[in-house]
Structure formats: C-alpha cells, structure tokens
Structure 1
Amino acid sequence: MTKVRDVARYVRSKNAGPFWATLEIFCDTKEDYEKIKNSKVTARKIAELYNVDESKVKVFYVDNINVIKFSFPRSIPQGHKYENDMHFGQQYILLAETAL
C-alpha cells in the first residue's frame, strides 16, 4: 500500500493564522504530483482525518511547483488553554501516513 510519504518529497503542517491550519504536500516530479492529486487524498479525506467539516476544507493545487495545499479551520484557536500543538507543526503525520 503506497502512502503519501512514499511519493511526496515533503509533507508539512503549519498555522495559517490563529484560527486556520494548513497542510502541504511537496512533490519532486509532475508524475508524483499528479499521482497524489488524482488519489483518495481529497477534501473529504482531510475532513475525516482532522475531524472538520468537509465544506470548510479549502484545496489549492499549485501546478507550477507541484504542491497541494489543504487549509481548514482549527477546532480550537492557537494558544487556547486546551490546545496541544500551538504551531500545528506535528499534525502532518496523519496526512503522510494516508494511503493513496
């Protein structure tokens, strides 16, 4: 079973402000980019993985640099007393381990 991490050069997660999070998939080749772009890695899958409303997941395909970005509202704002990853930097693992 091929996973995102097996095809992508780099997968990362980060803040997109205190209320939004972003996941990014960087690919070395157009072939790898198209493989992920045309896979089961969709807004629906991101909504399932990160427990967010699918209609709020924004998807950006940056064809000229082989990057796919997903942005969605954080369940609780950055810095909230119950928030456990202030920079959203460790959340990429779920995406990296997702099967294509």
Structure 2
Amino acid sequence: MPQLKSIATVCKSKNAGPFELTIDVVFEDADTFHRVKETGVLGAALFARLYNVPKEYVLFTPYDAAFAFKATLPRLVPAGEFGDTDVYGCQQHAPLLDLEIPI
C-alpha cells in the first residue's frame, strides 16, 4: 500500500486563526483523488483520532474540483500560548505522511 506522502502532491497544515488548524491534502489527478476518496480512509474520524479531538469538532470537506481534501479542527494549544510548539501550525500535517492508503 502506498503512503500518503508518495501519492499526494500537497499535504500541508496551517493555522486557521489562533484556535483552529487546517490541513490540506491535494492530488495531482482525478483518478488518484477518486481512488483515495473511495477508500474512506481520509475523513473526520481519522483526523479526530490523529489529533486527539472529538470527531464532531472536525470539519472535513472533499473538494472534487480541486482533487483535494480539507480538514479544520481545533488546536489543542492556541497559537502562541505557553506550551505551543508550532506557532504557525505548519508542521502539524506530519502524522498523515506515513498513512497507508489501500489503493
């Protein structure tokens, strides 16, 4: 099974304000995107588990026209708050990189 990092063109994270994080996963072509989408691996439940937040707090959206998925979820520590290790939220996508996709 390929890992997400080998089939996604883009996998990035960033702040969506100081209290939320957004993660984007983009594929180069429609075929790969739809094959990944059909597996159901990428979804709110996965992001909730990986980022230790309740599933109902994860806004997960597939964007078919852009061959992309977007997840927005609460940050466990607000940006810039004591204990924050990634003030810009730009390294939070790492748990997804080694995710195996059954395609």
Interval containing the TM-score (normalised by the shorter chain)? over 0.9
* Structure 2 spans left out of the alignment, 5+ residues: none
* Structure 1 spans left out of the alignment, 5+ residues: none
Q: Deviations over 1:37-76 (max 9, x none)?
A: 2231211111111111111111111111111100101111
Runs of 4 or more above 3 Å deviation: none
How far apart in 2 are the matches of 1:42 and 1:60? 8
Instruction: Confirm whether residue 13 of structure 1 aligns to residue 13 of structure 2.
Output: yes
In structure 2, the residue matched to 1:75 is: 76
Give, in angstroms, the shift of residue 6 of structure 1.
Answer: 1.6
How far apart in 2 are the matches of 1:82 and 1:30? 40
TM-score of the superposed pair, with normalisation by structure 2: 0.91
How far apart in 2 are the matches of 1:95 and 1:35? 17
CA RMSD of aligned residues (A): 1.0
Q: Secondary structure at the match of 1:69?
A: strand
Equivalent residues in 2 for 1:5-84, closer than 5 Å: 5-39=5-39, 40-84=41-85
Give, in angstroms, the shift of residue 24 of structure 1.
Answer: 0.4
Provide the identity percentage. 28
Across the two proteins, how many residue pairs are aligned to each other?
100
